[in-house]
């Protein structure tokens, strides 16, 4: 029979899994304690959660969060990386970490509710962030208005030039 402390922990972890935009199941075998501490600091600075949880508790939490297909991936030593803001942030933070190559391996990713194969995660790292995409969208939306403004301004200047020429011609006659 589960104790109250574990039940509370599973409920808390289930809530974190539900709130996360992305969840990455990682194998961190071979990482030193210093590398782990540095990784945790980097994640914490960027509002990314990194937890190491027993597989039985993680399976319960993931199933309660609605991710029933992950059981086959939860073998061995696993860490769970969760991002609530930018779902691509964890992959981007580790993209250029040469010291962790081969030590920090992705087993599974749940990206905005959809399962992503570990081989596809490099493509996620190259995606622009949400803020960058919003900036691009805003620029795209503003471009036609800016062009229209310039066009109208040019037409008014041309018309003003014609009127001034007409005025000068009438004054000289």
Query: Is 20:82 a contact under the CB 8 Å cutoff?
Result: yes
Q: Are residues 18 and 84 in the same domain?
A: yes
pLDDT, tens digit only, all 173 positions of the chain:
468 888 898 889 888 888 888 888 888 888 888 888 888 898 888 888 898 888 888 888 888 888 877 777 788 888 888 888 878 788 777 776 665 666 778 888 888 778 877 777 767 667 777 777 788 888 777 777 777 777 777 667 777 777 788 788 788 86
- 91/166 same-domain check: no
Q: Same structural domain for residues 95 and 12?
A: yes
Does the predicted model carry a pTM greater than 0.75? no
Question: Are 17 and 97 part of one and the same domain?
Answer: yes
Percent helix, strand and coil across the chain, each to the nearest 5? 60, 15, 25
Total of domains in the chain: 2
103 with 148, same domain? no
Its domain, for residue 8, covers: 4-127
The CATH number given to whatever domain includes residue 46 is: 3.30.70.1730
């Amino acid at each position: 029979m589960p104790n109250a402390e574990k039940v509370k922990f599973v409920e808390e972890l289930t809530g974190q899994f539900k709130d996360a935009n992305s969840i990455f199941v990682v194998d961190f075998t071979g990482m030193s304690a210093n590398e782990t501490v540095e990784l945790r600091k980097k994640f914490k600075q960027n509002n990314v959660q990194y937890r190491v949880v027993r597989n039985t508790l993680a399976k319960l939490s993931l199933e309660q969060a609605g991710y029933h297909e992950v059981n086959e991936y939860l073998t061995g030593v696993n860490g769970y990386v969760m991002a609530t803001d930018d779902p691509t942030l964890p992959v981007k933070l580790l993209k250029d970490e040469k010291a962790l190559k081969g030590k920090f391996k992705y087993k599974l990713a749940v990206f905005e509710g959809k399962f992503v194969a570990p081989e596809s995660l490099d493509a996620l790292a190259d995606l622009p962030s949400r803020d960058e995409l919003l900036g691009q969208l805003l620029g795209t939306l503003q471009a036609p208005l800016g062009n229209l403004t310039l066009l109208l301004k040019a037409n008014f200047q041309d018309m003003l030039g014609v009127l001034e020429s007409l005025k000068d011609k009438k004054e000289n006659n």
